[in-house]
């Protein structure tokens, strides 16, 4: 059965009589509160902890019906996911949009509180793997989280919470005017087991950009003697044709050009699988949690964003054990500590299949290596009530990383590429955290210091350029100071959270737009974020956020091409000064709910020398949902309501202004059955 025919059957099944009435608005609020409990279990964050955090709940996830990660995650403050082609994307959380090793290693992606990848084997497209489409909640922590979660939680982390058997069940089918079919199912298999499936077939709105994506996850909770157990499996598969950049000043404004694909042969095929088991029980004077886990990923794709058009194949398999012990509170003091391990092996092979006029890019094998990694970490956290309304949270983590590298390609210089000889490397660092929360009743002040750190990615260490020397890369660190206030006002009609931060990063390793590596950069980041939700009455609510940031280089790099020249004080490229998101929800009647959304990305420079800029954009969207019965909803989602010509991503590469154009006005029609 084809996916399209399967979705038609899916929609027909959705017309069956309702088993249970759909949740009423007041009951929905209570259900949302109850669904916050898994956040504490899987994410280990409480809304009273110091530091900025936000939770995207299941109701908003379902209403957004995001086909791509940016559509749901950009609704969180300080987050800017840029979409490339199809499911490809780059992430920013209190940061510029980062690519290469910096993009792989600066953001930690979790599923049920467990990293989806081993630390050294990141992927800038890592959000294609977790099951975002049916998540019960998505937790976003902005700023360093390394003291608790370890390497890669430098600028922030994203934790995807899978639904379990206690969450609402649903079936959904949709079709989009750009030729996108999709189906999602979240159903129980027995009393304690939940199966989730998401399927998508996309014909692509640009030339030769069709794709198929499949995701599945399974979660069960059981009692094993004195142990409470939760086990899950999740997997994803993506096969897509890929469009490359269109080039030229403001090329995204040319509607005909935007639909073209300069590299119709480009593609990306990727798969992933993960499993985890959480075991917990009371033991002695506290509570013990053991979480063994394993994961495996593979990918092959054409490097359409590089001038020589190479093909890369990479994969890695890893896993380990997370141990945590929470001592029972003693007076005003609570203490918890743990240990984490991860062992992984992976490989990368890059081949240039066709000759290039530039001898710096020789035909044949550029890299072909295998790497084994080991990670060991110890951490501890203390929570102290200094007074009845003043809390202190202190944490410390020590972490070591060992690498063993073996090349299968001849060592030495090969055009622009430098293949190191076999070698071993190791890195270690300590990441502290210290926070205060002053509770004043209807609002709380917080102050937070945290250090983020990451050991180098495998590609940082061993995918070198001819100007680099093996072994010169250091562990990257970022120190952050943050102050904020959050609470509720207007008789609980207004929730708000405001945060200001200052961060400095050292040993910043990144790849510039000419494809050259920088090993010793430094940057400064400061900003203010504000988020609020106003419940005007029982039927009308307005929510949104705005983020201002000033992000700049704090080092000089003069000896490069003019547009890649860096002078201390330059704005970091692809770091918009302003980001904003807003949503107006109106329950027009018992059956009809209407929503209007706004997403704003401000102006930003597209090259490090600050000679070229993108003016930014504002994109509107709308949604209408009609309850046919208490458990059956028909919906239409309009994206890019004003048919704005804009760029999802703008940068300068190899001297050219280039863009990934944003989608034109489009509509998605869906039907959802809940029970």
What are the residues facing 270 on neighbouring strands?
A: 238, 299
Confidence band of 517 (pLDDT split at 50, 70, 90): confident
Phi and psi, residue 166, nearest 5°: -85, -10
Q: In this predicted structure, which of 131-135, 306-310, 435-439 has the lowest mean pLDDT?
A: 306-310
Euclidean distance between the first and the last CA atom of the chain, given in angstroms as a whole number: 26
Predicted local confidence at residue 22, as pLDDT: 32
| Per-range mean pLDDT, top range of 329-343, 346-360, 555-569 | 329-343
Predicted local confidence at residue 44, as pLDDT: 59
Query: Greatest CA span in the chain, whole angstroms?
Result: 73
- Distance, in Å, from the CA atom of 470 to the CA atom of 475, rounded to the nearest integer, reads 14
Q: In this predicted structure, which of 505-519, 527-541, 563-577, 607-621 has the lowest mean pLDDT?
A: 505-519
Predicted local confidence at residue 12, as pLDDT: 34
Query: Please, how many CA atoms are within 13 Å of residue 489, restricted to the half-sphere of its CB?
Result: 8
Over 70: is that where the pLDDT of 539 sits?
yes
The mean pLDDT of 646-662, rounded to a whole number, is 95
Predicted local confidence at residue 46, as pLDDT: 58
Predicted local confidence at residue 459, as pLDDT: 95
Q: Exposed, middle or buried by CB within 10 Å (0-12, 13-18, 19+), for 131?
A: buried
Confidence band of 230 (pLDDT split at 50, 70, 90): very high
Q: Which token pair is 73?
A: 């995650």
- What number of other Cβ atoms are within 10 A of residue 265's Cβ? 12
Q: Which token pair is 663?
A: 């989608």
| Per-range mean pLDDT, top range of 465-469, 524-528, 650-654 | 524-528
Predicted local confidence at residue 563, as pLDDT: 85
Q: Each residue of 339-394: pLDDT tens digit?
A: 999 999 999 999 999 888 888 899 999 999 999 999 999 999 999 999 999 999 99
Q: Each residue of 283-301: pLDDT tens digit?
A: 999 999 999 999 999 999 9
Q: ∠339-340-346 over CA atoms, to 5°? A: 160
Confidence band of 307 (pLDDT split at 50, 70, 90): confident
- What number of other Cβ atoms are within 10 A of residue 332's Cβ? 13
Domains and CATH numbers, the chain: 3-674 (2.40.170.20)
Query: Please, how many CA atoms are within 13 Å of residue 94, restricted to the half-sphere of its CB?
Result: 37
Instruction: Share the mean pLDDT of the chain.
Output: 92
In this prediction the pTM is 0.93
Nearest CA to 200 among 218, 186, 212, 209? 212
Tally of residues, the chain: 675
Over 70: is that where the pLDDT of 15 sits?
no
Q: Exposed, middle or buried by CB within 10 Å (0-12, 13-18, 19+), for 171?
A: buried
Confidence band of 516 (pLDDT split at 50, 70, 90): confident
Percentage of the chain modeled with pLDDT above 90: 85
Q: In this predicted structure, which of 53-62, 115-124, 157-166, 465-474 has the lowest mean pLDDT?
A: 465-474
Over 60: is that where the pLDDT of 513 sits?
yes
Predicted local confidence at residue 36, as pLDDT: 36
Predicted local confidence at residue 48, as pLDDT: 66
């Amino acid at each position: 059965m084809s996916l399209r025919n399967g979705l038609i059957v899916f929609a027909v099944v959705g017309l069956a009589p309702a088993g249970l009435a759909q949740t009423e608005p007041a009951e929905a609020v209570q259900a949302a509160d109850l669904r916050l409990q898994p956040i504490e279990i899987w994410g280990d964050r409480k809304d009273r902890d110091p530091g900025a955090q936000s939770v995207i709940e299941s109701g908003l996830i379902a209403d957004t019906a995001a086909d791509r990660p940016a559509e749901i995650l950009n609704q969180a403050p300080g987050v800017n996911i840029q979409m490339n082609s199809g499911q490809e994307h780059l992430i920013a959380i209190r940061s510029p949009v980062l690519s290469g090793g910096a993009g792989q290693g600066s953001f930690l992606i979790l599923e049920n509180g467990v990293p989806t990848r081993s630390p050294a084997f990141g992927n800038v497209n890592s959000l294609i793997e977790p099951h975002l489409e049916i998540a019960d909640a998505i937790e976003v922590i902005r700023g360093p989280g390394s003291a608790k979660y370890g390497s890669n939680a430098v600028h922030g982390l994203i934790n995807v919470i899978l639904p379990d058997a206690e969450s609402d069940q649903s079936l959904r089918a949709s079709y989009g005017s750009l030729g996108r079919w999709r189906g999602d199912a979240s159903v129980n298999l027995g009393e304690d087991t939940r199966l989730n499936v998401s399927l998508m077939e996309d014909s692509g709105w640009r030339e030769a950009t069709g794709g198929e994506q499949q995701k599945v996850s399974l979660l069960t909770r059981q009692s094993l003697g004195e142990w409470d157990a939760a086990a899950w499996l999740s997997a994803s598969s993506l096969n897509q044709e890929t469009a490359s950049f269109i080039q030229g000043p403001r090329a995204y404004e040319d509607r005909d050009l935007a639909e073209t694909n300069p590299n119709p042969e480009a593609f990306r095929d990727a798969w992933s699988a993960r499993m985890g088991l959480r075991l917990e029980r009371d033991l002695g004077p506290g509570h013990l949690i053991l979480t063994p886990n394993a994961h495996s990923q593979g990918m092959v794709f054409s490097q359409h964003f590089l001038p020589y058009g190479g093909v890369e194949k990479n994969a890695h398999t890893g896993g380990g054990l997370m141990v945590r012990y929470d001592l029972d509170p003693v007076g005003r003091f609570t203490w918890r500590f743990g240990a984490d391990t991860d062992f992984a092996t992976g490989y990368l092979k890059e081949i240039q299949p066709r000759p290039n006029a530039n001898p710096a890019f020789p035909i044949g094998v550029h890299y072909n290596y295998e790497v084994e990694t080991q990670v060991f970490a110890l951490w501890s956290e203390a929570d102290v009530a200094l007074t009845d309304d003043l809390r202190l949270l202190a944490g410390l983590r020590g972490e070591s990383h060992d690498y063993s590298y073996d090349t299968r390609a001849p060592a030495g210089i090969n055009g622009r590429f430098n293949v190191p000889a076999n070698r071993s490397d190791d890195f270690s660092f300590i990441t502290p955290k210290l926070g205060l929360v002053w509770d004043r009743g209807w609002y709380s002040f917080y102050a937070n210091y945290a250090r983020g750190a990451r050991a180098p990615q495998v590609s940082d260490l061993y995918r070198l350029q001819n100007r680099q020397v093996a072994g010169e890369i250091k562990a990257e660190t970022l120190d952050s100071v943050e102050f904020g206030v959050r609470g509720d006002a207007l008789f609980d009609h207004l929730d708000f959270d405001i945060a200001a931060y200052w961060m400095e990063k050292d040993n910043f390793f990144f790849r510039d737009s000419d494809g050259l590596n920088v090993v010793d950069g430094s940057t400064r980041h400061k900003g203010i974020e504000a988020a609020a939700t106003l419940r005007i009455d029982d039927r009308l609510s307005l929510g949104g956020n705005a983020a201002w940031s000033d992000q700049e280089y704090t080092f000089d790099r003069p000896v490069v091409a003019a547009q890649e020249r860096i002078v201390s004080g330059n704005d970091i490229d692809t770091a918009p000064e302003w980001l904003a998101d807003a949503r107006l929800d109106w329950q027009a009647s018992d059956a009809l709910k209407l929503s209007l959304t706004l997403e704003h990305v401000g102006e930003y420079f597209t090259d490090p020398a600050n000679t070229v800029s993108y003016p930014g954009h504002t994109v509107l969207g709308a949604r209408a949902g009609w309850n046919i019965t208490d458990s059956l909803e028909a919906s239409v989602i309009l994206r890019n309501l004003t048919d704005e010509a804009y760029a999802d991503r703008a940068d300068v590469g190899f001297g050219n202004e280039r863009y990934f154009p944003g989608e034109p006005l489009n509509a998605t029609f869906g039907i959802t059955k809940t029970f």
